[in-house]
Structure 1
Amino acid sequence: MTNLDLTIIVPTYNLGQYLPATLKSIQEQTIDIELWLIDDASTDQTAQTVTNFVRGVPHYHATFFNHHRGIGAARNFGINHATGKFIAFVDGDDLIAPTFAETLVRGFSLTPGVVATAVGYDWWHRSRGGSDRFQLLSQAEMFDQVSHHGTEIGGYIWNKAFSHAALDAGNIRYKEQLRIAEDYDFTAEYVAHTRGNYAYNPTILYKKINRPNSTMHNFSWDDRRQEDQIFDHIYQLKRLI
Structure 2
Amino acid sequence: MPKLSIIIPLYNEAGHLMKNLQSLLAQTNPDFEVILVDDGSTDQTNALASSWVQEHSQFRLLTLPSNQGISSARNAGIKEAQGELITFIDGDDWVEPNYTDFFLRCFTYYHLDLAVCGYIKEPPKKNAKIPTTTIQGFCDQAEVIRQITKMSGSVMGYTWNKVYRTDLIRKYQLEFDPDISLMEDQIFNVQYAVHAQNFYIQSPPLYHYWQHEDSASHTHDLESAKSIGLANYRIAKIILANKKSSSNSNSPSDYDFS
Per the normalisation by structure 1, the TM-score is 0.91
SS at structure 2 position matched to 1:62: strand
| Whole-angstrom CA distance in 2 between matches of 1:90 and 1:84 | 15
Letter of the 1:181 partner, please give it: M
Counterparts of 2:161 and 2:144, CA distance in 1: 14
Distance 1:126 1:186, change over 3 A: farther
Residue 129 (structure 1) shift: 5.1
Partner amino acid, structure 2, of 1:208: Y
Deviation at 1:175, TM superposition (A): 0.9
Whole-angstrom distance in 2 between the partners of 1:126 and 1:89: 24
Identity of aligned residues (%): 26
Query: Partner of 1:62 in structure 2?
Result: 61
- The counterpart of 2:141, out of the listed 111, 135, 139, is 139
* Conserved 8 A contact 1:107-1:200: no
Tell me, yes or no, if the aligned pair for 1:10 and 1:75 is still in contact at 8 Å.
Answer: yes
Q: Tell me which residue corresponds to 1:234.
A: 235
2:132–2:154 Cα contact (<8 Å) kept: no
Paired letter, 2:107:
F
| Cα deviation, residue 237, structure 1 | 2.1
Q: Which residue of 2 aligns with 1:85?
A: 84
Most deviating of 54-63 and 18-27: 54-63
For residue 6 of structure 1, the aligned residue among 4, 7, 15 is: 4
Letter in 1 for 2:204: T
Structure 2 residue 75 is the aligned partner of structure 1 residue 76: yes
Unaligned stretches of 5+ in structure 2?
123-127, 244-258
Residue 117 in structure 1 maps to residue 94 in structure 2: no
Instruction: Find the aligned partners of 2:25 and 2:117 in 1 and give their Cα distance.
Output: 19
What displacement does 1:106 show? 1.5
Q: Which amino acid aligns with 2:191?
A: E
**How many residues are treated as equivalent by the alignment?**
235
Q: 2:158 aligns with which of 156, 165, 168?
A: 156
> Which amino acid letter does the alignment assign opposite residue 111 of structure 1?
Y
Shift of residue 126, structure 1, vs aligned partner: 4.2
TM-score of the two chains, using structure 2 as the length reference: 0.85
Q: What is the CA–CA distance in structure 2 between the aligned matches of 1:92 and 1:201, rounded to whole Å? A: 24
> 2:130 is matched with which residue?
127
Q: CA deviation at 1:5?
A: 0.5
Q: Which residue identity lines up with residue 70 of structure 2 in the other structure?
A: I
CA contact (8 A) 1:10 1:92 kept: yes
Q: Which has the larger radius of gyration?
A: 2
Q: CA RMSD in A?
A: 1.9
Per the TM alignment, residue 21 of structure 1 is displaced from its structure 2 partner at its CA by 0.6
1:128 CA displacement: 4.4
Deviation string, structure 1 residues 110-139 (Cα, Å, up to 9, x no partner): 433x10111001126341459xxx611111
SS of aligned partner of 1:9: strand
Q: Which amino acid aligns with 1:6?
A: L
Partner Cα separation in structure 1 for residue 83 and residue 138 of structure 2: 23
Asked if structure 1 preserves the Cα contact closer than 8 Å seen for 2:38 and 2:62, the reply is: yes
Cα distance between partner residues in 2 of 1:151 and 1:97: 19
Q: 1:108 to 1:98 in 2, by over 3 A?
A: same
1:39 is matched with 38
Q: Which residue of 2 aligns with 1:102?
A: 101
- 1:218/1:51 Cα in 2 relative to 1: closer, same or farther (>3 Å)? farther
Look up the SS of the partner of 1:17 in the other structure.
coil
Report if the CA contact (8 A) 2:117-2:154 is conserved. Answer: no
Aligned residue in 2 for 1:26: 24
Change (3 A) 1:218 1:45: farther
* C-alpha contact (below 8 Å) 1:14/1:44 kept by paired residues: yes
Contact 1:93 1:211 in 2 (8 A): no
Q: Which amino acid aligns with 1:228?
A: G
* Segment of structure 1 superposing worse, 144-153 or 61-70: 144-153
In 1, the alpha carbon distance for the partners of 2:68 and 2:17 equals: 19
